């Protein structure tokens, strides 16, 4: 269970992982060493799993987000391993989720254009047999965040 200081540290780190240890310690009213120990404990427990730099997709010419709904008639371990390998190796695919309901897998991809999406689609279907693929293109991004809610922790 996290206490109030841990939650505050995690909030600060989720908002800006580039904050120095001194800045973090000052904002949570801890010494530098006590702050570092808390962060290390949360890393050791697997609460903090990494630190990244977020990039602007538009600035990198991958501003078109596509959600790809995949259905399959194959539910074997062999097919699943082939599917995992196929989607893992496609850098445009930034999220892969196994889901309930009519869709078996939901993929999130970023590409520069419809033409680039078609090339991605062709590479995907050449690597693994799929029963049905349906794509939705994002017209407006209303909210996108990497910040997780901490009220349940």
Domain ranges, ordered by start, for the chain? 4-44, 64-137
pLDDT in tens, 19-29: 999 999 999 99
CATH of 64-137, one of 3.40.50.300, 3.40.1030.10, 3.30.70.920, 3.90.25.10: 3.30.70.920
Q: Does the global pTM surpass 0.85?
A: yes
Token pair listed for 124: 């995907």
pLDDT at 85 over 90: yes
Under the banding of pLDDT at 50, 70 and 90, the label for residue 1 is confident
Per-residue pLDDT at 25: 98
pLDDT at 11 over 90: yes
Per-residue pLDDT at 145: 93
Rounded to the nearest 10°, the torsion over CA 88, 93, 94, 98 is: -70
Under the banding of pLDDT at 50, 70 and 90, the label for residue 102 is very high
Distance CA 105, CA 97 (A): 5
Averaged pLDDT for residues 134-151: 96
Neighbours of 120 (CB within 10 A): 21
CATH class of 4-44: mainly alpha
Q: Count Cβ neighbours within 10 Å for each residue of 51-86 and write b for 16 or more, e otherwise.
A: eeeeeebeeeebebbbbbbbebeeeeeeeeeebeeb
């Amino acid at each position: 269970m996290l206490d109030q200081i841990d939650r505050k540290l995690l909030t600060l780190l989720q908002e800006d992982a580039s904050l120095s240890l001194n800045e973090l310690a000052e904002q949570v009213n801890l010494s530098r060493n006590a702050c570092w120990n808390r962060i290390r404990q949360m890393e050791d427990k697997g609460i903090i799993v990494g630190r990244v730099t977020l990039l602007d997709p538009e600035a990198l010419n991958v501003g078109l987000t596509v959600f790809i709904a995949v259905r399959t008639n194959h539910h074997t371990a062999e097919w699943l391993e082939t599917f995992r390998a196929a989607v893992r190796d496609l850098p445009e695919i930034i999220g892969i989720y196994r889901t309930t309901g009519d869709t078996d897998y939901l993929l999130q991809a970023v590409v520069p254009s419809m033409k680039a999406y078609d090339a991605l689609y062709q590479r995907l279907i050449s690597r693994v047999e799929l029963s049905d693929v349906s794509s939705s293109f994002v017209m407006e991004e209303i909210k996108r965040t990497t910040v997780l809610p901490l009220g349940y922790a």
